[in-house]
């Protein structure tokens, strides 16, 4: 059918004999290439539709996981608030949970209905985005956790209840396994606030004295940037 149409078109154009045959051959090749190109485009479109469908499904799944994490975190926060209220009513103090063995070294302790031992301690303030420095905040958190002899496996969960703003968003973005690992959570938080080896290197190289900052204060700030840069690179220490 296609050849018949080409013969008709070729004759209408005035071709005959070998010229007509050549015309038909060229047109058949051109038409085949057009069909091949059309099939290729349709295949790419189907592949793109399939990719977009998978991405949409993954996005929905990720959104669902974030919702579950948010609900779990709210439950943890609610439970913590209830415990705090119970101990405020009893002793007028906020008490932090620890195990019997971890409580050694503290002078005052209390026990809840389940037999868990609590150590009286000041409540850590929440991290305030735009006001607090994440690097300094994590250092204080770790020192506090060490002083209270918290088990390392509970650090990530305890820290999550103190995060707000971007820090809380970073926590939500991690998988359940990652969010439960303090070192992974810490690394993600530092990276999100540009508090990495590269970040401190840039701060050190680009820093200028701030308004009302003395020469001594500026020098101390630069030294801190340099020390953190070196600490994170793992090469050597500032003497």
Note the pLDDT tens digit of each residue in 174-208: 999 999 999 999 889 988 877 666 776 776 777 78
Predicted TM-score (pTM) of this structure: 0.42
- Output the pLDDT for position 101: 42
Give the pLDDT band of residue 160 (cuts 50, 70, 90): very high
Q: 236 versus 121: which is more confidently predicted? A: 236
- Output the pLDDT for position 117: 44
Whether residue 44 is predicted with pLDDT greater than 70 in this model: the reply is yes
Task: Give the tokens for residue 127.
Answer: 């991290």
């Amino acid at each position: 059918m296609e050849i018949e149409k080409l013969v008709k078109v070729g004759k209408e154009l005035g071709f005959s004999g070998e010229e007509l045959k050549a015309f038909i051959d060229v047109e058949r090749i051109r038409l085949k290439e057009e069909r091949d190109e059309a099939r290729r485009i349709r295949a790419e479109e189907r592949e793109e539709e399939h990719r977009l469908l998978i991405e949409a499904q993954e996005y929905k799944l990720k959104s669902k996981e974030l919702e579950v994490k948010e609900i779990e975190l709210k439950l943890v926060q609610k439970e913590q608030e209830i415990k705090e209220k119970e101990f405020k009513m009893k002793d007028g103090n906020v008490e932090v949970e620890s195990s019997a063995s971890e409580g050694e070294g503290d002078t005052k302790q209390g026990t809840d209905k389940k037999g868990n031992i609590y150590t009286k301690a000041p409540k850590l303030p929440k991290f305030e985005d735009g006001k607090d420095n994440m690097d300094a905040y994590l250092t204080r958190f770790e020192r506090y956790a060490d002083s209270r002899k918290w088990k390392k496996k509970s650090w990530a969960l305890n820290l999550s209840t103190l995060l707000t703003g971007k820090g809380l968003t970073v926590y939500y973005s991690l998988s359940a396994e990652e969010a439960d690992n303090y070192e992974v959570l810490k690394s993600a938080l530092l990276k999100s606030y540009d508090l990495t080896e590269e970040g401190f290197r840039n701060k050190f190289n680009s820093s200028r004295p701030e308004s009302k900052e003395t020469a001594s204060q500026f020098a101390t700030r630069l030294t801190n940037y340099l020390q953190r840069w070196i600490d994170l690179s793992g090469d050597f220490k500032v003497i």
